[in-house]
Amino acid sequence: MLLTREEMTFDFEGGKLDPVRDKAFIEWSMNQFLYGEMTGIQVGHWLYDAPDLGAAKFLARQSLEEMQHVDNFLRIMIMMGLKPQKAHWAVRFLSTGMMGGSWAEHVALEMAQGEGFVLMAFYATIDTLDHKPSTDILRRAVKQEERHVEFGETETRKVIAGRAWLRRRLLGLSLVSMWGVRRLAAFMGKRMPKDHPVLRHLPAFLALSNRCAETRLRRIGVLDRPLAELGTMRRAALVAEAYGGKALGGLLSLVTLPLRLLPFWPKKKRLTDVYLDDPHVSGFELPAGEPAEARDPAA
């Protein structure tokens, strides 16, 4: 990953969440996690748009991991006597409302940034929840989340290479997701007790989450300067350009739909169109020691 565990770790000064005293908040937070993992089904949508077999195989594995995470959080909730409930609107917005409309948006917004936020929340829960059976489950899940974030970072770097317009679009959309995190921080800041050993830190923790998101954008190459150097008007222009481009793309899709049904109309290339040129196919070799009969049926 482009950020270390240390960079994404917030200092809660030794504060702990007690399963009895803090049951209401733990139940609320686990329901946010549960909703986020439920949206893992969106991964299947992108299998058809994967640019190569390696990416497709990663998504297939990720989809299974997301399903496992759903079961993990259900196990945690049962162990702690918690009930599934509706997620907060800001979490629903960040998880579903920010679902990408293209492969680039998926890997940048949902995987690098979105799962980056989730990963930090996993770290914070592991560090503060005083319930070892639950934190043991989360420690295992963290390894998978780290792979998801790293995949998003790597794929985003690939897709933005030489495309300044795409970097601007992803930056504009990222600014909106960071706004959603600030709204969540404001919500918590008004409702969390100021004297609680953990909860009093949550607004500052979410502020760190946004700073890490900014650092990730810079290390990926989407952002070329600190956000503080972008004025309000420039940020607004980036957001407007991003959503204007998405709206125009949607309009063009409707206009060209009848034309795309014609055999001569250029079609979007998908994995089923390019797999024969994929290095995994063209360079595939049997493992060393494989019987000759398996290598060449005519031998």
Q: Report percent pLDDT > 70 for the chain.
A: 84
Q: Which whole-number Å values give the CA distances from 8 to 82, 117, 175, 210, 277, in the listed order? A: 28, 9, 19, 10, 39
Distance between CA atoms of residues 267 and 214, nearest Å: 36
Residue pair 216/2 in contact (Cβ under 8 Å)? The answer is yes
Residue 9 has pLDDT above 70, yes or no: yes
pLDDT tens string 191-221:
788 899 999 999 899 999 999 999 999 999 9
Range from 109-113, 186-190, 284-288 that averages highest in pLDDT: 109-113
Look at residue 32 and give its three-state secondary structure: helix
pLDDT tens string 127-136:
999 999 999 9
Q: Which of 100, 129, 128, 102 is nearest to 115 (CA)?
A: 100
Question: Residue 294's pLDDT is what?
Answer: 44
Long-range Cβ contacts of 202-210 (<8 Å, 24+ apart): 204/10, 205/10, 205/12, 205/120, 205/124, 206/181, 206/182, 208/8, 208/10, 208/120, 209/117, 209/120, 209/121, 209/181, 210/178, 210/181, 210/182
Question: Residue 287's pLDDT is what?
Answer: 74
CATH number of 23-260: 1.20.1260.10
Question: Residue 265's pLDDT is what?
Answer: 56
Q: Which of 26, 189, 165, 32 is nearest to 95 (CA)?
A: 32
Residue 290 has pLDDT above 60, yes or no: no
pLDDT tens string 221-265:
999 999 999 988 998 999 898 888 666 555 544 455 455 555 555
Residue 275 has pLDDT above 70, yes or no: no
Distance between CA atoms of residues 3 and 208, nearest Å: 13
pLDDT tens string 77-133:
999 999 888 888 777 877 776 677 889 999 999 999 989 999 999 999 999 999 999
What are the phi and psi torsion angles at 23 (to 5°)?
-55, -40
